[in-house]
Amino acid sequence: MDAESPRLRLSILGVVIVSMFGALFARLWYLQVMSAGQYQDVAVQNTTKVVYEEPPRGRILDRNGKVIVDNRTSLVVTANPHELDSSGKRDEILFRIAQELTRSGRPTKVRSLERRLHDPQYNPLQPVPIAVDVPEDLYVFLSERAEEFPGIAVNREAVRSYPYGAAAAHVVGYVGRINEEELRARQGTPDHPKENPKPYQPDSNIGKEGVERVYEDELRGTPGVRRIEVDSLGRVVRTVEHRPPRPGNDVQLSIDIDIQVSLEKALAEQLDLVRGGYTSDGKIAAAPAGSAVMLEPGTGRVLALASYPTYDPSEFVNGISTERYQELTRNPAENPFVNRAISGQYAPGSTFKLVTAFGAMSSGMINGNTSYVDGGVYQLMKCSGNCTRQNPNRQGHGTVNVSSALTVSSDVFFYWIGDRFFWEADRWGQGLQSAARTFGFGAKTGIDLPGESAGNVPDADWKRRTWESLPPDQKAKGDPTWYPGDSVNLAIGQGDMLATPLQLANAYAMFVDQGVHHKPTVVMRILQPASEAADPAHPAVIREIEPEVTYTADMPAAIHEPIRQGLLGVASSGGVFTGTAYNAFRGFDTKAFPVLSKTGTAQVNNKADTALYVACAPDPEYKYCLSIVLEEAGFGGNVAAPVARRVFEPLAGQQTEEGSKPSVVRSSD
């Protein structure tokens, strides 16, 4: 027994050793054979990195092929907050990079870098741009010393450039870094990914406003992919694979950039001229903002769209600072990012008289020969209390019909129509509201820009619903009843009637097109990228945006012609029935370039009036319909009509001293 004990123990030990070696060999076989592919992938990932290259966005062109938005290459220094923190040398690295940026001609303080890194618009787990357009020698310096600046990188990026500066900013919009919500919408989540032929990364750019936003899928290119091999210090050894990025499609607008620049200049200079002065009724003109739209009757294509104040989209290249954004938006009344041309809602004033005239004639209440004596004051029917309404300065115009009433903008004539619509509703129904909706008011036009407002066409049901939605304390001060005064106010475009400048231009375009209502558009076609075209000067058309007729209204000559004659007289008639824009167009040859138009003045409580003017020209072929709104600036004929003249003169081939500069004239509306 004793002799065999050592042998037994050695046998047991041998079995244990063999078992251990067997397990070890089995594990090695599993790792080297069964799991070879998996661990090979892991090993490759340890030595290679996948770098996505942002593609150049498509260009944005005007209708004549002039480039409004282009791309250029920029050297951008970025800092990754997570890598900076992980390095344990954050303060030292930021101090050194601030020194290098300063030496390169970009004076930089660590404090400003910290503000940038903590800016909430950036994802703290992704690289944050801290300097744009740095010189080439800094790019070389930092590339050669990557291990000394962990978390810092310099990349060549395609960024937006704007050959015409801030022109058409509210049309083209701007580009910014994609946020978490936008990334989820485009890419999905890890559990529910979305297929996207043009994938986004957390530091990708995306259209934020305007055409850049609406046509993002066209303008965005296909990202490039570069697989690179790196050493233990993160230095690039070689490129394993490279798929270059492909640019996005070009977008051609219906905008004529020359008209756009002219309109923006005229609008801004006119507001500057009247600001701080006195209006005709003795109020101070604040003139904080304005807007204008010119479109093409017969197609609905927008030729120019201006909103003031405006902004420079180049400030958004690689991100606008929070401080700068807050500075621009500090005063809500002058927020430059509001596109007032499509979202500003204003009482249309006397420009609405086109609608009132159409409603009265189409319902059968009046015809082209129906007359009324305008003594300057109107007495409301069946009324007790405050029962009178009057023309500006109580000026009487004598016996007028629909044509002359439009030319001189007789409030009394249209008060009479509004009053009858109330008291004779059993005969004429809601003819005013019906006519307004026929011309597209109270509904969005569907323009291919974000942020459009619908305006408002008030009626008895709307007034009751609005009252019912009020809290109890406000209900006690309000009244849900629709009164004769509501109809009278609506007849001259006052009260709760609201319209956008785009709706006004489109309504008049519908009139001159004899009842054909178009959907306004700012994009004409999608083009192949010039860099991929056989003939870069003539890239292939990928998609044409055809004019779209939304509906057609009956507008017989017996209704159309009297209204047309009245509107033609606004800018051209002198004598007994002097048009309200006649003085603004004095010296302009309206026989060679007939202008169909209407002035408007909308009253604003405790403020100067808002000035409006809508004009279509030249009659009868109509190439342009233009609406202009100047907030708190005075009478429409005084300050808005001169803007239209300045824009029309070069289009008409007329250059006069009166039309070459901003001006204020005397008018009754």
Report d(CA 119, CA 352) in Å as an integer.
47
DSSP assignment of 240-275: EEEE--BPPPEEEES--HHHHHHHHHHHHHHHHHHT
Mean pLDDT in residue range 502-521: 98
Please give the mean pLDDT across all residues of the chain: 90
The pLDDT, as a whole number, for residue 511 is 98
The pLDDT, as a whole number, for residue 190 is 77
By mean pLDDT, which of 69-83, 202-216, 542-556, 570-584 is the weakest?
69-83
Per the rule left: phi > 0, alpha: psi between -120 and 50, beta: everything else, 276 is left
SS3 at position 324: helix
The pLDDT, as a whole number, for residue 529 is 94
The pLDDT, as a whole number, for residue 196 is 85
Q: For the beta carbon of residue 108, count every other beta carbon within 10 angstroms.
A: 20
| Ranges 39-43, 426-430, 457-461, most confident | 457-461
User: What Cα–Cα distance (Å) separates residue 438 from each residue in 36, 260, 460?
Assistant: 73, 29, 18
Mean pLDDT in residue range 474-498: 95
The residue among 359, 439, 432, 358 whose CA lies nearest residue 625 is 439
* pLDDT higher at 309 or 323: 309
Radius of gyration of the chain from its Cα atoms, rounded to whole angstroms: 34
The answer on pLDDT for 597 being more than 90 is yes
By mean pLDDT, which of 119-128, 338-347, 465-474 is the weakest?
119-128
> What are residue 470's phi and psi, to 5 degrees?
-75, 150
The pLDDT, as a whole number, for residue 270 is 98
The pLDDT, as a whole number, for residue 25 is 67
Query: Do 415 and 378 contact (CB within 8 A), yes or no?
Result: yes
> What are residue 91's phi and psi, to 5 degrees?
-65, -40
The pLDDT confidence band at residue 74, using thresholds 50, 70 and 90, is confident
Mean pLDDT in residue range 54-76: 94
The answer on pLDDT for 404 being more than 70 is yes
Mean pLDDT in residue range 577-602: 96
Spell 362-373 as b/e; 16+ CB within 10 A means b: bbebbebebebe
The first and second tokens of residue 612, run together, are: 């409006």
Alpha helices in 30-155 (DSSP H): 36-47, 81-87, 90-103, 110-117, 136-144
The answer on pLDDT for 321 being more than 80 is no
The answer on pLDDT for 47 being more than 80 is no
CA 470 to chain centre: 32
CA 422 to chain centre: 39
Report d(CA 119, CA 123) in Å as an integer.
9
Per the rule left: phi > 0, alpha: psi between -120 and 50, beta: everything else, 604 is beta
Report d(CA 480, CA 69) in Å as an integer.
51
Report d(CA 412, CA 669) in Å as an integer.
13
The answer on pLDDT for 29 being more than 80 is no
Query: Do 71 and 57 contact (CB within 8 A), yes or no?
Result: yes
The pTM of the full predicted model, rounded to 2 decimals, is 0.88
The pLDDT, as a whole number, for residue 310 is 97
Alpha helices in 118-179 (DSSP H): 136-144, 169-172
- The pLDDT tens digits for 379-400 are 999 998 889 999 998 999 999 9
* pLDDT higher at 268 or 2: 268
Query: Do 352 and 497 contact (CB within 8 A), yes or no?
Result: yes
Residue 13 makes CB contacts below 8 A (sequence gap 6+) with none
Report d(CA 656, CA 208) in Å as an integer.
41
The pLDDT, as a whole number, for residue 8 is 67
Q: Strands 250-253 and 60-61: what pairing? A: parallel
With vertex at residue 642, the alpha carbon angle to CA 638 and CA 647, rounded to the nearest 5 degrees, is: 160
The percentage of residues in the chain with a pLDDT greater than 90, rounded to a whole number, is: 64
The first and second tokens of residue 138, run together, are: 């800094």
- The pLDDT tens digits for 83-133 are 888 888 889 999 999 998 998 888 899 888 988 888 777 766 678 888 888
The first and second tokens of residue 150, run together, are: 């962990």
By mean pLDDT, which of 531-535, 639-643, 665-669 is the weakest?
665-669
**Domains contained in the chain, CATH given:** 50-253 (3.90.1310.10), 349-528 (3.40.710.10)
The pLDDT, as a whole number, for residue 324 is 87
Query: Do 266 and 662 contact (CB within 8 A), yes or no?
Result: yes
By mean pLDDT, which of 278-287, 560-569, 626-635 is the weakest?
278-287
By mean pLDDT, which of 5-9, 420-424, 521-525, 534-538 is the weakest?
5-9
- The pLDDT tens digits for 607-664 are 999 999 999 999 999 999 999 999 999 999 999 999 999 999 999 999 888 888 898 9
Query: Do 344 and 600 contact (CB within 8 A), yes or no?
Result: no
